[in-house]
Amino acid sequence: MSVSYSGVKVFSATKARDRESLGERITEWLDANSQTLEIVDTVVTQSSDREFHCLTITLFYRRR
């Protein structure tokens, strides 16, 4: 089954403080766009090297 979407929104943070507030940023964006967009899929990706840990949350959406 294929999920159709019309756009992608990417949230990413590398610093610990930014990673901690990532949920609030996503919630604010969802609240601001809930009337016009429907989330159809979500992908969470974590990557790291010796110094940095990156958290990326990708939201796939379609217009209502």
Q: What is the pLDDT of residue 35?
A: 96
Query: What pTM was computed for the model?
Result: 0.89
Cα distances (angstroms) measured from residue 59 to each of 37, 52, 56: 11, 23, 10
Tens digit of each residue's pLDDT (9 = 90 or more) over 3-62: 799 999 999 999 999 999 999 999 999 999 999 999 999 999 999 988 889 999 999 999
> Does the pLDDT of residue 1 top 80, yes or no?
no
Spatial contact of 56 and 9, defined as CB atoms under 8 Å apart? no
